[in-house]
Structure 1
Amino acid sequence: MRIIKGLALGAILGTLGASATLAEEFPEKPIRFVTPYPPGGSHSLHAGIITTVAEAYFGQPMISVIRAGGGGVVAAAELAQGDADGYSVLFGDPTINSLRPQVEDLPYDIDAFVPVARINYSPAVFVAAADAPFDDLDGMIAYAKENPDKLIYSSDNKNGFTYVAFEMLKLKTGTQMKGIEFGGGGPAIAQVLGGNTMAYAGAPSVVGDHIEAGTLKAICATDLERWEKLPDVPTCQEAGVDIVWHFWRGVLARAGTPEDRVQMMSDAFGKLVEDEGFLRLINTINSRVGYLDAEAFGELLAREQKDLKELYDAIGG
């Protein structure tokens, strides 16, 4: 009997030891860090910085992969149908992970991913072309009211970040403006700079340098406080319209990924965002850190998904 008990105990300890070894060995190969939007937008800028410094914290290279298409749906669907092993992660956002799966018929559902870590968040900054016939929010609203559907703005994708920002603006001000979708922040802002559209709303990391250079005019930012790197840009609330809209950038894994791997990655990203090189590079693109671990990120997602569905119903889709 003692021999049998000893064998059983040994088997249990052996199993626990094997599990611990597997957890410790992850990752054993490079991790694909998948960005769902074209180059030139805030996602690709942040992804390049993250993957530059990641190896020191993951023990393996992190490969930046741009998989654009369908306003982020192509990448999300591909990962949702892939292996739940942690070797491919999605650089997600509120539109493809919280809003669109609730209001569109997509090849993945809202529970297809589990949160790993939020890296940061930013507001939308409304900007206008340098030669636009308005310089501030009052002027923009007045122009739109006097010229219904004549104010043409660059948008990203239907139900995307910029799309929602302008829908909020139109709803709050009773204006008619026309958006043209270009599939991502990079192509969208290029159209404003090229004189083909009059306005845009994007992350400070995308529009900040253009504001400072004078090639775009800042209108307002959709935050509760002024962005510290753009102190002269008022919030939309300060400018007279109550709009608050935040865009997070976060890492998500396919649902079913082992919890120990999710936790390992969450902890590693927590250390990565304190890296001096990472912070220096983030500063160069007018961005900042707003890290949340897997648990806190999950709580944010639950609240956000409920709030965005209510907003979508209010603006009528």
Structure 2
Amino acid sequence: MIKWSKKLVKVAAVMAVTLIAASVHAEYPKKPINVIVPWGAGGDSDLTTRVWADAVEKELGNPVVVINKAGGGGVVGTTFVANAKKDGYTLINAGLSNVLVTPNFSKTPYDFDSFVPVVKMTAVPLGIIVKNDSPFQTFDDFIKAAKEKTVTQGSWGAASSGTILASIIADQAGYTPKYVHANTTAESMVSVVGGHIDSAVSFPPAFGPHIKAGRARALVMNQKMDAYPGVPTFGDYGIKGSFEGWSGIFAPKGVPEEVVNKLVEVTKKVMKDPKVLKAYENMGAVVDFRYGEEWVKDLKVTYDIMNEAAQKMKE
């Protein structure tokens, strides 16, 4: 009888812990959720994340706070989240640069497996942008000049996705720009319109306002967009590959599955909201909502491609 009593006590204890854990996850979130953007304010990652955070906050009835923690080409903020408590209250704005490119092209304290992909909200086509009164009227003009003399190009870090993609484009087109690195695409655009650099690789959320205001022009983009009629694509110049950035939300590896599921379900709702869709459209971001195993498999494929590219560059 004593042995059975002890076994029952153990079983009851295990059940109690399980029920308590389930209850805790079911109540998520019970306090503010911090979303770290590993770049400065005003860039495409910052803007797209704030739209998501505002919408999710309203749906959850719980604060979702966006915090900019820039530095090291996105490494500082991303490392902070990789080492954060695995409770779902510290998330990271993830994208091509900080989780797929940088860990392959430079030594970082984290890699792709340090995180759990939660959702992807948007994609943004890369473009090469110049000041409105730039002597480069076409991308052909730009290529010709870059082959004959030094042409400066803004990006956001030596190991960032912007620089890596720009280098792939330049290599195929046969020119080598001099990169001028800033903290964000927004900062690069300020340098372009201010006449401090000849060009910048950037995304619509950062260059869109400058083009609409007549301060800048797009010479070429990854894909055609109604908002920028007449702008050719890289493919039109025989450049192979897809050159786009994307914005998503990751959690540190080890976060409870129930938390991930909760964030996915609430994102499903907000990504159907016309106001959210319009906000993304206005900033030039293409809605590309994804989650789940198939998306994660695609991410891993891209991560491996970047790894191969990095190894070739070291040879």
CA shift, 1:251, in A, is 0.5
Q: Return the offset for 1:92.
A: 1.2
**So what's the TM-score if we normalise by structure 1?**
0.90
CA RMSD of aligned residues (A): 2.3
SS at match of 2:30: coil
Does residue 302 of structure 1 match 2:304?
no
1:253 matched to 2:255: no
Q: C-alpha distance in 2, partners of 1:182/1:7?
A: 61
1:236 aligns with 2:205: no
Equivalents in 2 of 1:103, 1:121: separation in Å?
22
SS state of the match for residue 233, structure 1?
Answer: coil
Match of 1:160 in 2: 160
The 3-state SS of whatever aligns with 1:84 is: coil
Which amino acid in structure 2 is aligned with residue 116 of structure 1? V
Q: Deviations over 1:283-309 (max 9, x none)?
A: 221223111114333122211101112
Correspondence for 2:270: 272
**Could you give the per-residue CA deviations for residues 177-197 of structure 1, whole angstroms, max 9, x where no partner exists?**
111111221211111011000
Match of 1:91 in 2: 93
Specify every segment of 5 or more residues in structure 1 that has no aligned partner in the other structure, as ranges: none
2:309: which partner in 1?
A: 311
Using a 3 Å threshold, how does the CA distance of structure 1 residues 232 and 208 change in structure 2: closer, same or farther? farther
Q: Give the CA deviation at 1:59.
A: 3.5
Letter of the aligned partner of 1:23 in structure 2?
H
2:265 paired with 1:263: no
C-alpha spacing 1:19/1:228, structure 2 compared with 1 (3 Å): farther
| Partner SS state of residue 132, structure 1 | coil
Partner of 2:59: 57
Which residue is equivalent to 1:176?
176
Give the deviation of 1:222 after TM superposition.
Answer: 1.9
Query: How many Å separate the matches in 2 of 1:59 and 1:9?
Result: 36
Which residue of the partner structure matches residue 199 of structure 1? 199
Q: Cα offset for 1:161? A: 2.5
Give the superposition deviation at 1:15.
5.0
4+ long deviations beyond 6 Å = 1-12
**For residue 34 of structure 1, what is the aligned residue in structure 2?**
36
For structure 1, which segment, 302-311 or 190-199, has the greater mean C-alpha deviation from structure 2 after superposition?
A: 302-311
Distance 1:228 1:314 in 2: 37
Q: Deviations over 1:215-243 (max 9, x none)?
A: 112111124xx124323222111234334
Aligned 8 A contact 2:104 2:306 in 1: no
Question: Structure 2 regions of 5+ residues with no counterpart?
Answer: none
SS in 2 for 1:289: strand
CA distance in 2, matches of 1:151, 1:53: 41
State the distance in 2 between where 1:163 and 1:7 align: 61
- Please state how far the C-alpha of 1:3 moved relative to its aligned partner: 9.2
Give the Cα separation in 1 of the matches to 2:205 and 2:26: 36
TM-score (norm 2): 0.91
Match of 2:23 in 1: 21
C-alpha deviation, 1:205, in angstroms: 1.6
1:102-153: per-residue Cα shift (whole Å, max 9, x none)?
Answer: 2322222332111011111112011112232211111111111122xx1111
How many pairs align?
313
